[in-house]
Structure 1
Amino acid sequence: MRVLLGVAGAVVVLRLFSSVLRSLVVPRPTRSGFGRFCQRLVHRPFQLVADRLPSAEAKDRVLAPMGAVAVVVTLIGWLASFMVGYALLEAAVSRLGVREALIESGSSLFTLGFASGNRVTLNAIDFLAAVTGPIVIGLQVGYLPALYGAYQRREAEVTLLQARAGSPPWGPEILARYAQVGLLDSLTELFRNWERWSAEVSESHTTYPILIHFRSPKAHRNWLIALLSVMDAAALRLAFSPSQPQAEVRMALRAGFVCLRDLAEIEGVPYDRDPHPDDALRLTYEDFLRGVERMREQGYPMERTPEEAWPQFRGWRINYEALAYRLARDIEAVPAPWSGARRRPVATRAPRTPVDRRPAR
C-alpha cells in the first residue's frame, strides 16, 4: 500500500512540475492538460450564464472576468494538487494518516512551518515541498507581466482600428472610410502593421493560450473581429483593385490566416489545411453586395464589377472564414457583420464611431 501511495504521489508531483514548466517557462506552444482542464472548469459556468442573456453587452460583462479567474484558479489548482501529491509521498514514507500527511505537506508547501516530522525521509519531502511553493508562486507572478504586456500590445492596434473602421470593425467599412478621407495610399501601411500584429498574436497567444479568452476593454471591440475585418479589407482590395500594389496586402492576408491556424491548433479546433478556391462560403453573395454598396457610397474606386470580383474575393476568404467563424463563436466575440453566428441568436451590430463635435465658427 505504501508503495502505491509513493508511486501515485510521485506521478502527481512530476506531472504538475511538467504542467508548470510547459505553461510558465517553456517559450513555445505547449498546452498542458491541467491548464486546459482548469480553463474549461472556469469557462463552463460563465458560459452557461452568458448563454441566457439577450444582448451582446450583457454577455460581455459576464465573460470579461473569465480569463483572469482562470489564471487564479490554475494557480490554486497547482498548489492544491502539489499538496495532495506531497501528502501521498509523506504517507508512503511514514506512518502518518491522510489528515496528518495533508497537514504536513501543506505546512511545508506554504512555508508555514507549524508541522514537522522527525524522520530523515519525511524531512527531505518537506524541504522539497517548501521549495515548490515559492517557486510556483514566483513563476506565476513573473508570468503575469508577460501576459498583460502581450494583451496591451494586442489591444493598442485594435483600438487604433476603431477610428479607421468603426466599432465593431468591418472589412468594407475600412475601405469605405479610407476612400472617404482620401487615404487609400495609406492602406499599405495599415496592412503592413497588421501583418506584424498577426505574427505577434500568433506567438503570444499560442505561448499563453488563455489570452485568446481575454476580452477587449470595451464590449463593442474584439481582437478577432478586428483581424477578420482587416483580412476582409485585404481580400476586397485584391478583388477590386488588381492594378494597385499587392505585396503588403497579400502578406497581411497570409499572416492573418496563418495566425488563425496556429490558434486553432492550440485550441484543438479542426480545419481544412488546403481549401479549394471554389468551395462555398458561408457569407452570402447578397451580404457581399451590401458591403460593396457601402464602399461605393464613399467613392471607393473599383476596377471590377461585383460579379467579376466575387470569385476573387471568395478564393481568398475561403482560407480563413471557417476558422474565424468558429473562434468568434467559441469566444463570444461581438456580433459584427460578416463574422458568422454565435452560440445563441443575437443581433448583428453595425460599425459606429463617436460623433466628431467641431466648435462653431
Structure 2
Amino acid sequence: MSEAVPIVLGVALVLTVWSSVLRTVMTPQGRSSRMALRTVRVVAAGAYLVARHLPGRYRERVLEMCGPTAVFAVGAAWLVASFAGFGLVAYGAYGVSPHPEDIAEVFLMRSPGAALAALAWLSSALILVAFTAHLMRIIDAFSRRERFVLRLAGQAVRPPDAEAVLAECVRSGSRDHLDDMFAEWAAWLADVGASHVAYPALAFQRPAGELCWLKAAVIVMDAAALTEAVAPDWAPPNTRTVLDTGTRCLQRVAAQLGVRVHPALVSLQGREEQSFADTMRLAVKAGLPTDRDERGAEAVFQNLRRRYAPYSTGIAARIFYEIDSYEPPPDNGVGRAESDTPMAC
C-alpha cells in the first residue's frame, strides 16, 4: 500500500503537467491553464518587487524581462514537474531512494527502471517541442499586436488624439473608408483579446515603441465612441463592432489579471485636460455630421467610454507600464480601476 501512494502521486503529477501543456499549447479555448497563469503572476510579482527599488532606466530593463522570463518559467515548471512525477513513480515501483545519485541512475537508464526512464525522456522531449510551438505562437501574436500599434503611433500617442485620427479619416475618405478602418481595428482588438487571455505572459510583454497597446485600444475606441455619440445615424456599421469587441477584449484581459474596476458615471482616463466641446468641435469641423447636440453627445460618449477606459487603466497598473509617470488618481467619483500595483499607461 505504501508503495502505491508515490506511484499514484507521480502519475497524477505527470497527468497534471500534460493537462497544462495541452490546454496551454493545443487547446487554449480562450483561457490559459492555471499553472501557466500562476507562474506568470509569480514572476511578475517578483519583477515588480525588484524594479520598485531601482532607479528609472534600470526599472524598465527589469520589467522588460518580465514577459520573456514568465514564458520560459512556464516551460521550466513543466519539465521539473514532469521529472518529479516520474521520480515518484520510480521511487514507488523500484524502491529508488530520493538520493540524487540514485535518481540519476534511473534516468541514465543504468537501473531496472530503464523503460520508465525512456518514457520520462520522451515526455520531456515532447514538452520541449510543445513549448517551442507555444513560444512561436507568442512571438507571432506579439508581432501582430505591435504592427498595428506602431502604425497608429504615426498619428496618435495619447487618448485625446482620437479625434484627430477620426478627423483625418472623415476629411480624407468616405464613410465606407471609415467603416473599413473600424473593421480592421475590430479585428485587431479581437485578436489581442484572444491571444492575451490564452497566453497571459503576452500582457506583460513591453511595447516595441513608445505607444503601448492599451493606449492604442483606447484611442481607436474613443474615435468610434465619438462617431457613435455625435453622428449615430451616419456612423458606419462597424462602429458598434469596434466598441463591442474592444470592450469585451479589455474586460476579459482585466478579469484574467484580477483587475477590479469601480463603477462611475464619468470616465476621464487620459482626457483630464481635454473638454468634450473641443473634441466635438474638431470632429464636426472635419466633416462629421451632427445628429445630437453637445450635451446629448457627451452623455452617450461617457456611457460608452466608462465601459472600457477604466479597464485599460487598471490593466496598465497591473502590468507595470510607465512606472515613473504614475500619480495616484484622486478619489473624486471619476471612473478608476483598482489594482495591487499602482502604475498607469
Deviation at 1:27, TM superposition (A): 4.2
* CA contact 1:173–1:294 (8 Å) conserved in 2: no
AA aligned opposite 1:234: A
Task: Kindly report which structure 2 residues correspond to 1:167-182, keeping only aligned pairs within 5 A, or say none.
Answer: 167=157, 169-170=158-159, 172-179=160-167, 182=171
Structure 1 position 131 matched with structure 2 position 129: no
1:238 equivalent in alignment to 2:228: yes
Please tell me the root mean square deviation across aligned C-alpha atoms, in Å.
3.2
Farther-moved stretch of structure 1 (183-192 vs 81-90): 183-192
- 2:25 corresponding residue in structure 1: 24
Cα separation, 2, equivalents of 1:140 and 1:4? 30
What CA distance in whole angstroms lies between the structure 2 residues aligned with 1:209 and 1:59?
Answer: 21
1:260-315 deviations in Å (ceiling 9; x for gaps)? 2332344344579xx8xxx5124289837536425646844573554332211122
CA contact (8 A) 2:189 2:249 kept: yes
Measure the CA separation in 1 of the matches of 2:343 and 2:127. Answer: 42
Q: Within 5 A, what are the aligned runs for 1:110-189?
A: 113=108, 115-118=109-112, 122-165=113-156, 167=157, 169-170=158-159, 172-179=160-167, 182-183=171-172, 185=174, 186-189=177-180
Q: Distance between the aligned counterparts of 2:131 and 2:37, measured in 1?
A: 16
After the TM superposition, which residues 23-102 of structure 1 pair with which residues of structure 2 at under 5 Å, given as runs?
23-52=24-53, 59-99=59-99, 100-102=101-103
The aligned counterpart of 2:331 is: none
Q: Give, in angstroms, the shift of residue 20 of structure 1.
A: 1.2
> C-alpha separation between the residues in 1 aligned to 2:8 and 2:245?
47
Tell me the SS of whatever aligns to 2:245. helix
The code of the aligned residue for 2:5 comes to L
Q: Which residue of the other structure, out of 315, 319, 341, is the alignment partner of 1:327?
A: 315
29 and 268 in structure 1: CA distance in 2 versus 1, 3 angstrom threshold = farther
- Give the whole-Å Cα distance in 1 for the aligned partners of 2:8 and 2:138: 35
Contact persistence 1:16–1:78 (CA under 8 A): yes
CA distance in 1, matches of 2:270, 2:125: 58
Tell me the residue number matched to 1:280: 265
Q: Which residue of 1 aligns with 2:198?
A: 207
Separation of aligned partners in 1, 2:280 and 2:51: 35
Q: Give me the whole-angstrom Cα distance separating, in 1, the residues matched to 2:269 and 2:63.
A: 30
Task: Give, as a single letter, the amino acid of the residue that structure 2 aligns with 1:6.
Answer: I
Does residue 227 of the first structure (1) align with residue 212 of the second (2)?
A: no
Paired position in structure 2 for 1:359: none
Give me the whole-angstrom Cα distance separating, in 2, the residues matched to 1:36 and 1:285.
29
Single out whichever of 281-290 and 94-103 deviates more from structure 2: 281-290
| 2: CA distance, partners of 1:88 / 1:323 | 44
Cα distance in 1 for partners of 2:317, 2:248 equals 19
Q: 1:313 is paired with a residue of what secondary structure?
A: helix
5+ long unaligned stretches in structure 1: 349-361
Change in 2 beyond 3 A, CA 1:153/1:177? closer
Q: Quick one: percent identity of the two aligned structures? A: 27
Match of 1:315 among 300, 303, 323: 303
Shift of 1:43: 0.9
Counterpart CA distance in 2 for 1:330 and 1:189 is 33
Say how many residue pairs are matched: 327
Secondary structure at the aligned position of 2:223 is classed as helix
What is the alpha-carbon distance in structure 1 between the residues aligned to residue 21 and residue 9 of structure 2? 18
Rounded Cα–Cα distance in structure 1 between residues aligned with 2:238 and 2:185? 10
| SS of residue paired to 2:153 | helix
Structure 1 residues 37 and 203, CA gap change in structure 2 (3 angstroms) = closer
Gaps of 5+ in 2: 327-333
CA distance in 2, matches of 1:137, 1:240: 53
One-letter amino acid of the counterpart of residue 46, structure 1: A
Whole-angstrom distance in 2 between the partners of 1:44 and 1:245: 43
Q: Label 1:244 to 1:30 Cα distance change in 2 as closer, same or farther (>3 A).
A: closer
Q: How far apart, CA to CA, are the structure 1 residues paired with 2:282 and 2:47?
A: 42
- The one-letter code sitting in structure 2 at the alignment partner of 1:240 is V
Instruction: Quote the Cα distance in structure 1 between the aligned partners of 2:313 and 2:10.
Output: 43
Query: Given the two structures, how large is their TM-score scaled by the length of structure 1?
Result: 0.79
> 2:310·2:335 contact (CA, 8 Å) conserved in 1?
no
Letter in 2 for 1:191: F
After superposition, the C-alpha distances for 1:27-47 in whole angstroms (9 at most, x for unaligned) are 423422221222122111211
The code of the aligned residue for 2:145 comes to R
Distance 2:11 2:269 in 1: 56
Distance 1:58 1:286 in 2: 30
Give the drift of 1:124: 3.0
Distance 1:207 1:285, change over 3 A: closer
What letter corresponds to residue 43 of structure 1 in structure 2?
A
